[in-house]
Structure 1
Amino acid sequence: MNLLFNLFNHKRYSLLYFYALFFLILSGAIRIIFYFWSIQDIDFSIINLIRIIFTGLFFDVGTISYFLIPYTLYLFVLPNKLIGGKIDKSITYFSYALGLIIFTFSFLAEFTFWEEFKTRFNFIAVDYLVYTYEVVENINQSYPMPILISGILLIVGIFIFITAKLKVFNAAFSNTTPLKQRIPITVLVISTSILFTSFISNKNAEWSINRYENELSKAGIYSFFAAFRNNELSYPDFYITQDIDKSFKTIKNITLAKNESYIPNNNLGLKRQVKNVGEELKPNVVFICIESFSASYMKRFGNQEGITPYLDSLAQHSIFFTNLFATGTRTVRGMEAITLSVPPSPGRSIVKRTENTDLFNIGSIFKQKDYKNVFFYGGDGYFDNMNQFFGGNGFDIVDRGRGYLMGDEFTSKRTNIEDNEVQFENAWGVCDEDIYNKVLKEADLNYQQNQPFFNFIMTTSNHRPFTYPEGRIDIPSKTGRGGAVKYTDYAINDFIKKAQQKPWFKNTVFVIMSDHCASSAGRQELDASKYHIPALIYNLPIDSAYEVNKMCSQIDLFPTVFGYLNWSYYTQLFGRDVNLMEAKDERAFVGNYRKMGYLKGDNLTVLGDQKVANFYIWNRATNDLNLTDKNKTLIEEAISFYQGQDYLYQNGLLKIDKLLP
């Protein structure tokens, strides 16, 4: 105890101690605020609350150790004769103010991140850091920036005033510490940071079955850097594996439809030929991928707000999928599932990985039928690597570029949305009406050239800051998600009405589906209800309007479209024609960047990145997950799909030149 007292009884180090104390108090206070913010999703327990506080404090200590290293080294090497001089004071004041600004800003940012995602900083925050323009503009348009900046400066000013009032600066500038007494403090700070870097993982904070309690036990800044280090996970290193031959045998048995046959010499792969009899239909296909659109927004699924009147009506005149699930929680995960028709990959989406071009995808099948593939995005497709991904996989690009290039091999395939084509724009791009008007123009050109087209449209309006042109709907712009959803619905209605006046409309199929739900946060490992999205197929050449109630995934939508069009083609997509699924084969893939879920009926298998598998019974009525005895068959099926997808990607077997005979 005396040694500990002597260790911290150095007035020269009083500012360092005071800074650390500020951080620990504020971080602990934010943890308590978040706790009560989420109290309805936490199974209250005094013991668990104490564990949250002390686990969080442990990670806070690790976090502050990194912040203290520069100043600790400075105090260690600065000669005593320079203490209190102009150089010492200038460096100290600047460093202290900068440090206060950094952690004050990070704490305030945590509030906005928690509001949006109900989690500490994770790989989403890391990804957003790359796209500074979109993120800064989004913050600027979503929040009162002058007030926020003033608030940060005010808080920092108060901290500095308190520090001066308590004469901490005086103590730091008027006292010396012998070198032999500086060594233990320096060793302690550096050793703590080394300990956390080498032996402590963010996963050590995940002690509860309640996801919120795990997130509250973490430290935001520490979580950010943990995500920065681990945003791409090796499946074999982190997840349960089995014999790869067994995995592909299982996948093949589940995937093969009655109108398909596997290509010979294809033991480790899904290369197969789809054969349908009768005349093939070749209409144009327009796919609308709606940003953040949960099934719960529609009247069909119980919503009484009346924010999707057109889609509610359109669903009654379409083939409407009522039991379809998104594979992930971000746009790039939806794009991965829809375009490549594969289960989600751990860590980063393939859309953002390096080896992500020349892959076999739904566009490859359209190419087999001589379609022109075009990707439309109202923002800059540089964001989230979308242009690189779509441009490198057979799509032309139409976006609102600001000068970023995709590389010389792709620039000739890019068309810009010009200023005179824009009536409204926010941080994420032009409003949905503008992108649809651009689609109409491009479709007219293709029609004149007698060119069948597949248009993939990614919308942006249903995204914070939730702004859109005034006067379109009865909810003012920038008043929240409900208004953005209703404007999204309005814009689709406007687009379809305009398309109906075009000569190409009768021969055009419209496919509509969300990229992911608006919120994915839940109490347990994976909240299955937060992956439930709507999808519909409208204006098929065959006169059909009915509900498809089979459980299916985003990856199944386009194989099902191809089935309705009666196409024969080569494929290696994991997705299936839903209409050819037997009840025993219905399944969905749901996950986040670490948890890989396999949903069959009410059974949810979750593969975790510590080589674990948990098995739950999902109660749809209460949305509870009840941990139960493991189902060996379903766990093996889950491993097969996720290990198989990873094996194909890692070995270049998803490439298009590996497929066609």
Structure 2
Amino acid sequence: MIFYKRLSPFYNLAFFYFVISFLLRIVLFFHPITQSSFTLLESLKIFSLGLISDFFVFVLMSVFLWLYLVFISNIKYDKPYGYIILASFVALFLYIASGKSIFDEYGGALPRIVLIFLGIKTALFALFLYSPKWRDKIRFWMFAFVVFLYVVVILQNGLSEYFFWNEFGVKYNFIAVNYLIYTNEVIGNIMQSYPVIPLFSALFLGSGIVTYFILKRSANFIKEIPNLNEKIKFSALYAVLFVISLVAIPMFAKTENSKNVFVNELQSNGLYKFYLAFENNKLDYLKFYKTLPNRQSFANLREQFPGISGENTIRSITEDSLENHKNVVLITIESYSADFMKSYGNKQNITPFLDSLAQKSLQFTNLYAAGNRTVRGLEAVTLCLPPTAGESVVKRDDNKNKFSTGAVFKQKGYNVKFMYGGDAFFDNMQDFYSGNGYDIIDKSSFSPEEITFSNVWGVCDEDMYNKAIKVMNAEAKENKPFFNHIMTVSNHRPFTYPNNKIDIPGDIKSREGGVKYTDFALRRFFEMASKQPWFQNTVFVIVADHCASSAGKTQLPLDKYRIPAFIYTPNKKPSQYNQLMSQIDLMPTLFGLLHFDYESKFFGQDVFKTDYKPRAFIATYQDLGLIKDNVLTILSPKQVVKQYTLKVRPTEGVAPEFQILYDEIPLKAERTDLVNDAISFYQSASYLLKEKRYQFEGLKAKNKKLYANIR
């Protein structure tokens, strides 16, 4: 047989993979979320370099196919080899089944997985050995199954990349890695958000049809099993391609260097992007980013924090009025972009309550979320520090006993709770908040009669607010002020909520419906709260955790980080603060309004203080941005620094303080002072976390018993 025909399983599957990748790029190229137009050169780069990258990725993907095919033979079933091999399999199976194998030292599910695999392998080998007349048929169906698995994986990955792009406007990134960890919520979300049965039915049907045609072109490999010489030839060829691919894939990834982020994303291979995200979930700032000497970094911070000294951010916050120990309710709203609100230009009337509440509150009109994930928003309002590279502190192993807003409230004698309508295990919230002195109220705290509606993310917001009212009524009887942090869930895909609550049915799964129901539930909460005896003595802080989408034409599109934020105090005169500020400033500003005296480590500041210099932090898990002096400075791995002048792109009929669209124009001459500011903030925050200097016990607390209470 001609040698190239021996490679038919590889090149037929490769052709199918290239077709799916090409079609996927076409679909994403014209997808509505791809907010960009492309030049001819950019288009050629996307499809040509993308195809080459796909080829090398497929070579690596084929390693399991190669391992399977290279061991297909009849010789191993001849006497006495077959009996020796079978005896070896049986002995190995018994060894692992004994519970004293090397795999048992690793614990978990590994011993069971190995035992099942070896059991199947042993049974199949015995079947092949003792039933030679069935050998060819069984081998053919096993070969068909392997091909079918590859086809399913290729098609399923194409669908996954499409839906991920549909949600985030990028190929796989750090979020996709997180999704593998929290499979229950994510699979449940998929089940409730998409027509899963039709999708998977079509997936398996399509895979079966494709497998049939590939088998017609590749079955000769099974019918005429290659001899040893042929196996050595194609193994040598595969080994060479494998080594070349290991070098070529990262090399081609370096060509993803366009100023247009969509060009880079469309050119990239999703599987390799997933691998990179998995590898880079922990980023050491000092290794990957541009740095300054530590002493200089903290010296620069003293311009922002005049009271600090040495390599820390410790400073005394003092007020000239008596402390006001009002109750505080902090509500972080899931995925709530500023442009959902009427004042920012939305004409759909989907936030009528928040629109009205804004007119009665202290409204922060120019506030930016720290990141584009819930854990970043929680980190921002809880730890009040810039979003450091890699995973959020919430999800890190070293996430306990930090200097937090809860710690400050504990110092002041407050009861401190975190309330979440879902399972607080998700995103490591349980570990983080309990490890920082918060009591946890989550779905597990609800009795069956307290749940009127739930989806995969948890109970609906109304149920959470009903529970919160009960908890706060009980707390009010303890004669202690309370601080309760509520995290909402309803404005999240699949956007399901109780029917007959708003004019958008809860079962049509629309983003607008999720937003409007969230607003409706918030209205109901305030209606209930206003009837409670503790209401007049309570301050309500409402802020989004992040925007609904992070996709944009630029690395850090500003409109995808602009979020609404209010502080509502009953019978307090409404006002606006229009200066630039960060999500990390919200709680320190609240402490200032309550006239708290405390020793602070926060990077967040009271924006009403005279020494506050307007700036904001926005980031992905690896691109770290500082907005200051109308310039966006971005720090990226490999010591890359980019700067853009921000020019407002006015939206007609929207007041100047609510304009959110900006053109990011590359800066012609570097603003070194702003680069150093960005480095100083992010480097010092990373340093303090790494060296465990952002712990609560690091403070010179006046009363050590207070810290004991937090723990």
The normalised TM-score by structure 1 is: 0.92
Q: For the residues of structure 1 that align with 2:676 and 2:261, how far apart are their CA atoms?
A: 25
* Corresponding position of 2:512: 482
The answer to whether 1:645 aligns with 2:696 is no
1:299 matched residue in structure 2: 342
Residues 1:423 and 2:429 aligned together: no
The structure-2 alpha-carbon separation of the partners of 1:226 and 1:186, relative to structure 1 and needing over 3 Å to count, comes to farther
Decide whether the 8 Å contact of 1:551 with 1:601 is kept in 2: no
User: Residues 537-576 of structure 1 correspond to what in structure 2 (within 5 A)?
Assistant: 537-539=567-569, 543-576=572-605
Quote the Cα distance in structure 1 between the aligned partners of 2:142 and 2:334: 47
- Structure 2 counterpart of 1:101: 152
1:655 aligned partner: 695
Deviation of residue 111 (structure 1)? 1.5
The answer on 1:469 being equivalent to 2:495 is no
Q: CA deviation at 1:581?
A: 4.8
2:559 to 500, 511, 529: 529
SS at structure 2 position matched to 1:255: coil
The counterpart of 2:622, out of the listed 578, 583, 594, is 594
- Name the residue aligned to 1:371: 414
- Residue 39 and residue 397 in structure 1: after superposition, are their counterparts in 2 closer, same or farther (change >3 A)? closer
Query: What is residue 461 of structure 2 aligned with on the other side?
Result: 432
Deviations 1:229-261 (A, max 9, x none): 2111111111001101111111122133xxxx4
Q: Please tell me whether the aligned partners of residues 327 and 531 of structure 1 are also in contact (alpha carbons under 8 angstroms).
A: yes
RMSD after superposition: 1.9
Q: CA deviation at 1:86?
A: 3.9
In 2, are the aligned partners of 1:211 and 1:525 still within 8 Å (CA)? yes
Partner SS state of residue 37, structure 1: coil
Whole-Å Cα distance in 1 between the matches of residues 638 and 245 of structure 2? 18
The answer to whether 1:269 aligns with 2:291 is: no
Distance change in 2, residues 1:444/1:196 (3 Å):
farther
The answer as to whether partners of 1:205 and 1:217 remain within 8 angstroms in 2 is no
2:664 is matched with which residue: 602, 625, 629? Answer: 625
Give the secondary structure class of the aligned counterpart of 1:483.
helix
Shift in Å, 1:25: 1.3
Residues 220-231 of structure 1: pairs in structure 2 closer than 5 A: 220-231=270-281
Which residue of the partner structure matches residue 675 of structure 2?
A: 635
Q: Does 1:43 align with 2:56?
A: no
1:243 is the counterpart of 2:282: no
CA distance in 2, matches of 1:623, 1:393: 38
Shift of 1:135: 0.9
Q: Give 1:33 shift.
A: 1.4
How far off its partner does 1:608 sit? 0.9
- What amino acid is the match of 1:29? L
In the alignment, structure 2 segments of 5+ residues that lack a partner are 78-134, 650-660, 702-711
Give the aligned partner of residue 170 of structure 1: 219
Residue in structure 2 matching 1:325, options 365, 368, 374: 368
Letter in 2 for 1:64: F
Give deviations 1:542-597, integer Å, cap 9, x for gaps: x33111001000000000001111111111000000111557x1000001011000
Query: Where does the alignment leave 5 or more consecutive residues of structure 1 unmatched?
Result: 1-5, 402-415
The separation in 1 between residues aligned to 2:207 and 2:423, in whole angstroms, is: 36
1:117 is matched with 168
Match of 1:353 in 2: 396
Q: Which has the larger radius of gyration?
A: 2
- Measured against aligned partners, the alpha-carbon deviations of 1:144-178 in whole angstroms (never above 9, x if no partner) come to 111011011111011022224xx324322233434
Secondary structure in structure 1 of the residue aligned to 2:418: strand
Q: CA deviation at 1:9?
A: 4.0
| Structure 2 equivalent of residue 160 of structure 1 | 211
* Structure 1 SS opposite 2:486: strand
Change beyond 3 A, Cα 1:334–1:176 = same
SS in 2 for 1:590: strand
Distance 1:517 1:193, change over 3 A: farther
Taking the aligned partners of 1:392 and 1:307, their CA distance within structure 2 comes to 37
**TM-score, scaled relative to structure 2:** 0.86
One-letter code aligned to 1:647: Y
Segment of structure 1 superposing worse, 230-239 or 378-387? 230-239
3-state SS of 1:254 partner: coil
SS of residue paired to 1:253:
coil
User: Superposed, which structure 2 residues align to 1:506-525 within 5 Å?
Assistant: 506-525=536-555
Structure 1 stretch displaced more, 383-392 or 102-111:
102-111
Query: Contact 2:60–2:245 (CA<8 Å) still a contact in 1?
Result: no
- How far the C-alpha of 1:69 sits from its partner, in A, is 0.7
Aligned mate of 2:438, from 372, 387, 395: 395
Query: Per the alignment, in what secondary structure is the counterpart of residue 10 of structure 1?
Result: helix
Q: Which moved more, 1:545-554 or 1:203-212?
A: 203-212
Which position in structure 1 is the counterpart of 2:478? 449
Cα pair 1:290 1:458 within 8 Å, conserved: yes
Tell me the equivalent position of 1:502: 532
Cα distance between partner residues in 2 of 1:308 and 1:462: 12
CA distance in 2, matches of 1:273, 1:643: 22
Secondary structure of the structure 1 residue equivalent to 2:513: helix
Name the aligned partner's letter for residue 483 of structure 2.
F
Task: Work out the CA distance in 1 between the residues paired with 2:470 and 2:606.
Answer: 32
**In structure 2, what residue type is equivalent to 1:512?**
I
Native 8 Å contact 1:12 1:173 kept in 2 = no
Secondary structure of the residue aligned to 1:537 is: strand
Shift, 1:383, TM fit:
0.4
* Other-structure match for 2:266: 216
1:614 alignment counterpart: 642
Q: Name the SS for the 2:273 alignment partner.
A: helix
- Deviation at residue 490 of structure 1 after TM alignment: 0.6
Counterpart for residue 25 of structure 1:
19
Q: Does 1:314 align with 2:357?
A: yes
Q: CA deviation at 1:17?
A: 1.5
- Cα distance in 2 for residues equivalent to 1:197 and 1:544: 64
Letter in 2 for 1:179: L
Contact 1:324 1:551 in 2 (8 A): yes
Q: Determine the structure 1 residue equivalent to 2:303.
A: 253
What is the match of residue 85 of structure 2?
none
What CA distance in whole angstroms lies between the structure 2 residues aligned with 1:188 and 1:418? 63
Matched residue, 2:282: 232
| Residue of structure 2 equivalent to 1:189 | 238
The residue type paired with residue 228 of structure 1 is F
CA contact (8 A) 2:72 2:225 kept: no
Equivalent position SS for 1:380: coil
Whole-angstrom distance in 1 between the partners of 2:483 and 2:236: 62
Determine the C-alpha separation between the residues in 1 that align with 2:610 and 2:236: 63
Task: Give the aligned residue type for 2:170.
Answer: T
Partner AA of 1:148 in structure 2: L
Contact 1:38/1:212, CA 8 A, preserved across alignment? no
Give the drift of 1:203: 4.7
Q: 1:516 to 1:157 in 2, by over 3 A?
A: same
1:473 aligned counterpart, secondary structure: coil
1:63 counterpart = 2:74: no
Q: Secondary structure at the match of 1:285?
A: strand
Q: Distance in 1 between matches of 2:497 and 2:333?
A: 15
Change (3 A) 1:654 1:187: farther
- CA distance, structure 2, for counterparts of residue 205 and residue 33 of structure 1: 22
Specify the alignment match of 2:127 in structure 1.
none
* Partners of 1:59 and 1:222 within 8 A in 2: no
Residues 129 and 40 of structure 1: is their aligned pair in 2 closer, same or farther, counting only changes over 3 Å?
closer
Residue 279 of structure 1 corresponds to which residue in structure 2? 322
- Aligned-partner Cα distance in 2 for 1:364–1:591: 26
Cα displacement string for residues 49-89 of structure 1 (whole angstroms, at most 9, x for unaligned residues): 11111221122123212221122123333336589824532
**What's the offset of the Cα at 1:458?**
0.4
Partner of 2:94: none
